[in-house]
Amino acid sequence: MLFGLIQYSYIEDYAKSLSQLGGEPLGREIDALFLRWLAFRNILWWHHPSFTTDIAERILRRVHRGLRTERLYNELESGFATYVEARRHNAEEREARAIRSLQIYGAGFAVVSTAAAVMQVLGQQYLKTGVEKASALVGLIVVGVGVITASRFG
């Protein structure tokens, strides 16, 4: 019976801690609480009170039934699963944004580097003065910015 009360006490503590996170359920605190929950679940929750007889397990089931421990356990398990899924979704969204940014800036870099190579080849014959070279460089920058803007919003 004592084992069942200890389990219930832990589950109540996790439920209280989880409810206190309230408006910030995806912060670092949930990570620490989730790790503690996993340790509890893997050690205390699944531990059998006796390996030789089922009497202790039957008593434990009655204690759980009387305290409604199973229902609270299932609610916590579901709550933690929701938070883990939300964390995974946020991580995937950040990753997708980072990839989009790389694609956008990569497209601009490809255009500018290609145009710079063309300007270098043409510059040997056609761009004789500093003003012509500066104008061509400004044109390359405008083209690169245009490509980046079009990639981002288009």
Tens digits of per-residue pLDDT, 37-59?
888 888 777 766 666 777 777 88
pLDDT in tens, 75-111: 888 888 888 888 888 889 988 888 877 777 777 677 7
Q: Contacts from 14-21 at CB under 8 Å and sequence distance 24+?
A: 14/40, 14/76, 15/72, 15/75, 15/76, 18/76, 18/79, 18/80
| Cβ-Cβ contacts under 8 Å for 80 (sequence gap 6 or more) | 18, 34, 37
Average pLDDT for 6-31: 79
Q: How far apart are CA 122 and CA 116, in angstroms?
A: 10
| Cβ-Cβ contacts under 8 Å for 70 (sequence gap 6 or more) | 64
Q: How far apart are CA 131 and CA 89, in angstroms?
A: 52
Provide the CA 51 distance to its chain's centre, in angstroms: 40
What pLDDT sits at residue 23?
A: 64
Q: Residue 125 in 3-state DSSP? A: coil
What are the tokens at 81?
């699963």
Model pTM score: 0.53
What pLDDT sits at residue 10?
A: 85
